[in-house]
Amino acid sequence: QLSNRLEAVAKLVPQGSFLADIGSDHAYLPAHLILNNQITGAIAGEVVKGPYESAEKLVNDLLLTDKIDVRLGDGLEVIKAYDNVSAITICGMGGTLIRDILERGKNKKCLTRKELLILQPNVGSHVLRHWLVENHYIIQDEKILSENDKTYEIMVAEASDRKVELTESEELFGPFLMKESSDIFKKKWQFELEQYERVKKQLSQSKTNQDEKIAQINHQCDLIKEVLS
């Protein structure tokens, strides 16, 4: 039984994909997709020995060794050109970590730009959107969900031969998510706004000059108020 978060990611993986799930931990996502006949095969990449062994165990227990190749290695380096990976999932990490994995993968030529990227950052999704834009990827879809009092964002991106800019608000909130403006989205940003207001209050009581930080926070708050209005 997958978490709602991974279930939502699974729904975004195209039928018939050959998947590389990076930071796969137990390999729950590729195993689920294989068992549902949604993908033809997968690589489950892990950089840490413990999770790598958990993934190996699950794949062995489910008798899926001919469909899922569990590989130990850093980020996209587990992908080889002959794999013909058509989709990459990187889920359950911070946006900065996912961005760094993509950047290293790009520099080491493990990213061919043919793969559909399905990314689920736990925090810092704007960092990832920024990287996608700078690297000429186009965000095709986004989802937001909440599970166990946490909010998760998922984005799907495809390489393009041109740069499609996002506005400052689109980069922060997500172009699809801000348009959709779901209850979960509104709740998340209402909460963020309250956090910013709290920090601002603390900064304004500080003995040292915090004008610059306060101005930055005011700007963020203005963007949030605008998207919530």
Q: Which residues bind ligand SAM (CB under 6 A)?
A: 6, 22-25, 45-48, 51, 74-75, 91-93, 101
| Phi/psi at 167 (5° precision) | -70, 165
| Smallest distance from ligand SAM to CB 176, Å | 21
Q: Could you give the CA distance from residue 141 to residue 118 in angstroms, rounded to a whole number?
A: 9
In single-letter form, the type of residue at position 188 comes to K
Q: If DSSP codes are grouped into helix, strand and coil, which group holds residue 43?
A: strand
| Smallest distance from ligand SAM to CB 177, Å | 19
| Smallest distance from ligand SAM to CB 38, Å | 17
Q: CB–CB of 87/118 below 8 Å? A: yes
41 or 45: CB nearest ligand SAM: 45
75 or 175: CB nearest ligand SAM: 75
Burial of 79 (0-12, 13-18, 19+ CB in 10 A): buried
124 or 213: CB nearest ligand SAM: 124
Q: Could you give the CA distance from residue 229 to residue 224 in angstroms, rounded to a whole number?
A: 9
22 or 177: CB nearest ligand SAM: 22
| Smallest distance from ligand SAM to CB 182, Å | 21
